Structure 1
Amino acid sequence: MINQCLRERNQRHIIQRIIVRGLLVLDTPTCLGSGDTEGDIDLVILRDSLEDKALLMGSSIAGALRNYLRDYEYGYNADEISVLFGGQRSEKEGEQSPLIINDALSNTTPHVELRDGVKINSISRTAEDRQKYDLELLEAGTQFDFCFELLIENNREQLIKELVIVLQGLENGAISIGMKKQRGFGRCHVKEWQVWQFDLQKYDDRIAWLTFPHWTTGFLTEYRTYKSIADTLSVHLDEKDKRDRLTINATFTLATPLLIRSGQASSDKAPDVVHLKSRRDGELQPVLSGTSLAGVLRHRAERIVNTLHKNTSIIDEIFGVDFSKNKTKKATASRLIVHESIIKETTDLVQNRIAINRFTGGALHGALFNEQPIFGNDKTELNLELELRQPKPHEIGLLLLLIKDLWTGDLPVGGTSSVGRGRLQGKEAIITLASENKIWKITQGSKDEPLTIDNAEDLEKFVDALNEEVAA
């Protein structure tokens, strides 16, 4: 009976196998959470049970690649028609994916950094009770050796084309992995490739595949490495990226000192409060985190929308809804991606402060503390990257008002803004709208120089659309 079922079952008639190995490098800290909330840290990274190495699950890679392929080929929220990942998610009995993705281990013992966060009340601008959390992140520069294997029965050209699309997305850094991708974590790229193609209709290739060292990880030194996956597989992509998105790349400098509190001190003798730093290229560098900037933007957006007497549903549509914080609404992911920014050419200075007794006007006993914000100079620079998926005209108008407030220093970022910290000064901004293939550029050499805007009338139309949305 069992043999009869096996004979009648649909079998794969594989005619070719393609094995691809790559070296994945993390460009920003990455949260590969284990889901374990027991311990001193709310969320720790996933580690292999046998080796002391970070574990990147094949299912995590597959999910990121599948979403990217769907968005790239058909646009956001489109039905999946690709064949690379098998049946659609809505199908109860879909086809099995022809792409095999193995779990990947980090090449070295993981180096982690701790980040903490807290929810800020938009009215009082203070931390809400019991809303603080901390998590472990893999440091930028961590490397993973991963392996794919593509099984080809038919549709060879479409399968290889879709494979090149997703692998090229990894190669170019267009795909992020892990948690909190909308806040700048998990950005990565593939540094090198190795590819083997086996035609199973040929005897020599069948033997070569059978004797291939599948059990080894990493690159095989006796084989050639490649920089471009498209050139390696001899595929030229003619398809246009169908992702409808607005991207803003803005360059700022520090108009005042900046302090984003770090959840960990570098030493026992460190000041009570130090600015957040993250390791890049082997050294700690000050950063403006995506979580901090996103929180600031959301609170100012709420203020703008409330001033215009508009329902705050606009905010939820852009920044998403967290079900754990608002159980009356359906949880949705943020459509606004806020990347983490490195702040270049800064100086660390320690400032001593003390709390004042408001009744006596004298120093409060035992309340002396010191802080270490970062200070800017003529060479200080940070680049803010924002990406809004499926933008609507009134949403673009709201983002433009937020950039304007950051540009003029009216919207501070980080902590201790009440003592004059956290103000930025805009230098240049490039705004790109993919659906209309339009680019706008805003420049201002210094604070005293005039502002130059390309096609300012077009940008005004988006702000007018916000006013019309409010009136509606």
Structure 2
Amino acid sequence: MSSDRLINRNQRHIIERIIVKGTLVLDTPTCLGSGDADGATDLVLLRDSKEDKALLMGSSIAGALRNYLREYKNGYGATEESLLFGGLRSDEEGEQSPLIVNDALSRENIKAELRDGVKINSVTRTAEPGAKYDLEFLEAGIKFDLYFELLIDAENNKEQLVRELAIALQGLENGEISLGMKKHRGFGRCKVNNWQVQQFDLQKYDERIAWLTFEHWSTGLLANDQPYDSIENALGVSVHGGDKRDRLTIQATFTLVSPLLIRSGQASADKSPDVVHLKSRRDGELKPVISGTSLAGVLRHRAERIINTINKNLLIVEDIFGSYLGKDKNQQAKASRLIVNESVLKETTDLVQNRIAIDRFTGGALHGALFNEQPVFASDKTEFDLEIELRNPKDNEIGLLLLLLKDLWTGDLPVGGTSSIGRGRLQGKHATITLRREQEDKISTILQSAPNESLVLNNTESLEKFVAALYEEVIE
């Protein structure tokens, strides 16, 4: 920016400041990567330089809020920006954002959780060579103190700014904004509660002094204020309506009909089994989970199989699940439009099973090949909730997801490893399918009270039309 423009540009006349604080709680493991690959894992957590606490950058929070607000007001894929976050970096004459977002430190020292993964070849269903990785995640339950400050200019519309701030922060309040890496695979889910708001009218002398003497970095409650559960009540605005995001949401409850084993790389004790099921900390204790990455990989492989069976056209699969550059440098990478959340298994039992490899030549036991595994087994009360969301869905894409749900429901599509010996079979209990288009919701339900009972569905004709759309689209 030239010196003439610096001299002649309009200066902001700030007449009011609104400070908002909140407590952010991680609901699932979160990877706030530092970008440093020199640690013990492929990607280590971003840490404070003085204390062993996790650092959540203000730029990360602001980016997530900005993206959520843009999609809420204009729909997925929109490029229009709002006044709240100023101009883009590419716009040299763009206005500065009136919202200040501070960095946040975790309240307690880092409690890390290691996750490993590997890319699976869709043809051979084996691991790709050199494609294994491991990441460091923050455990669920860690808390951060968030701090926002909204600057009201004499020339800006205060009502519009406050409403946009309430919309963005309500996304955090409702758990609709995720942070960190692999957000589309269930990581980084969080919620914010205990909102506190304090306003300073800078046109009044005593409030100007109050703002100057205010302890901006304090993590305690604001003066003479009680926390609010709702950001709408805290800011005194209403933000109902105006959500233009088109999406399909499937929320289903399943049970296990066979043992389940998703391998975890965390077992290292000498007396532990060679292979244990993946577990993650929830509410202070380790619980078995079905990771979003594992489930998404299973769904993608079956989707490819379905499309190949129909007409061998995989573009629809890449549009849903995304694609990467790979060896073909001319191929354009695509982000996944499908969000697959992590599921926590309830009321399961851990049992160790001993196995041995067989020498195929002699038919006897292979020397030194005894190993043991610890999958999870179901009880009468075992169940878990599966939640997936597809953004900007097309009719044929909805049809493909319904076929995938059917395969999971009937146990035809196993989840996890060692499926060749009967593990990973699921049984559906009930599901709710919500399609939101043009700010209207159409809801379909599926219910099966027992494995041998018939399905009870509503809105059957609509669901069949989506599957028919898939067949017609692929044939063309």
Q: Into which bin does the TM-score normalised by the smaller protein fall?
A: over 0.9
Q: How far off is 1:4 after superposition?
A: 8.4
282-291 or 81-90, which moves further after superposition? 81-90
Counterpart CA distance in 2 for 1:457 and 1:9 is 61
Aligned AA for 2:452?
A: D
Instruction: Map 1:183-332 to 2 at 5 A.
Output: 183-220=185-222, 223-265=225-267, 267-324=269-326, 327-332=329-334
Conserved in 1, the CA contact under 8 Å of 2:347 and 2:379? yes
Q: CA deviation at 1:93?
A: 2.7
Residues 381-422 of structure 1, C-alpha deviations (whole Å, 9 max, x = no match): 010000000000000000000000000000000000001000
Matched, 1:412 2:414: yes
Output the amino acid matched with 2:324: D
Taking the aligned partners of 1:237 and 1:390, their CA distance within structure 2 comes to: 23
Q: Which moved more, 1:338-347 or 1:262-271?
A: 262-271
One-letter amino acid of the counterpart of residue 396, structure 2: H
Structure 1 position 119, deviation (Å): 0.6
Give the Cα–Cα distance (whole angstroms) in 2 for the partners of residues 439 and 174 of structure 1: 20
Counterpart contact for 2:277–2:288, Cα < 8 Å:
yes
For residues 182-202 of structure 1, the C-alpha deviation after alignment (integer angstroms, 9 at most, x for no partner) is 000000001211111011111
Mapped to 2, the partners of 1:84 and 1:458 lie a distance apart of 40
1:453 to 446, 451, 457: 457
Task: Give the TM-score normalised by structure 1.
Answer: 0.97
Q: What is the alpha-carbon distance in structure 2 between the residues aligned to residue 6 and residue 77 of structure 1?
A: 34
Pairing 1:398-409 to 2, within 5 Å after superposition:
398-409=400-411
Is the 8 Å Cα contact of residues 21 and 145 (structure 1) preserved in structure 2? Answer: yes
Larger deviation, residues 310-319 vs 340-349 = 310-319
SS of corresponding position for 1:379: strand
Q: 1:120 to 1:140 in 2, by over 3 A?
A: same
2:143 maps to 143
Q: CA separation in 2, counterparts of 1:252 and 1:238?
A: 33
Equivalent residue for 1:31? 31
Q: Over residues 82-104 of structure 1, what are the superposed CA-to-partner deviations in whole Å (9 max), with x where a residue is unaligned?
A: 10000146533311111000110
Partner of 1:22: 22
Report the alpha carbon displacement of residue 217 of structure 1 after superposing the two structures with TM: 3.3
Which of 444, 447, 452 pairs up with 2:448?
A: 444
> SS where residue 294 of structure 1 aligns?
helix
User: Percent sequence identity over matched residues?
Assistant: 71
Counterpart contact for 2:193–2:230, Cα < 8 Å: no
Would the aligned equivalents of 1:146 and 1:218 in 2 still touch at CA under 8 Å?
no
Equivalent residue for 2:78?
A: 78
The corresponding residue for 1:365 is 367
What displacement does 1:309 show? 1.2
> Which AA in structure 2 matches 1:457?
E
Question: Residue 376 of structure 1 aligns to which amino acid in structure 2?
Answer: A
Conserved? CA contact 1:140–1:279, under 8 Å:
yes
Instruction: Say how many residue pairs are matched.
Output: 471
Change (3 A) 1:10 1:344: same
SS of match in other structure, 1:377:
strand
Preserved CA contact (<8 Å) 1:246 1:391: yes
CA distance in 2, matches of 1:116, 1:81: 37
Instruction: Give the aligned partner of residue 109 of structure 1.
Output: 109
**TM-score, normalization by structure 2:** 0.96
Unaligned runs of 5+ in 1: none
Question: What does residue 11 of structure 1 align with?
Answer: 11
Residue 468 of structure 2 is aligned to residue 464 of structure 1: yes
After TM superposition, the structure 1 = structure 2 runs for residues 36-185 of structure 1, keeping only pairs within 5 Å, are: 36-88=36-88, 91-153=91-153, 154-185=156-187
Separation in 2, partners of 1:465, 1:421: 33
Question: 2 CA distance for matches of 1:325 and 1:454?
Answer: 46
**SS at 1:406 equivalent:** helix
Q: Structure 1's 275 and 238: CA in aligned 2 closer, same or farther, altered over 3 A?
A: closer
Judge conservation of contact 1:80–1:88 (CA < 8 Å) in 2.
no
Work out which of the residue numbers 356, 360, 369 in structure 1 matches 2:358. 356
**Shift, 1:51, TM fit:** 1.4
Consecutive unaligned residues in structure 2, runs of 5 or more: none
Contact 1:145 1:218 in 2 (8 A): no
SS in 2 for 1:366: strand
- Range 213-222 or range 150-159, more displaced: 213-222
| Structure 2 CA distance for partners of 1:325 and 1:390, relative to 1, 3 Å | farther
**For residues 422 and 302 of structure 2, what CA distance do their matches in structure 1 show?**
18
User: What amino acid is the match of 2:62?
Assistant: A
Query: 1:307 Cα shift?
Result: 0.7
Tell whether the 8 Å contact from 1:120 to 1:128 is kept in structure 2 after alignment: yes
Letter in 2 for 1:212: F
Deviation at 1:215, TM superposition (A): 3.1
Deviation at 1:310, TM superposition (A): 3.7
**Residue number in structure 2 paired with 1:397:** 399
Q: 1:147 to 1:194 in 2, by over 3 A?
A: same
Q: Distance in 1 between matches of 2:455 and 2:146?
A: 48
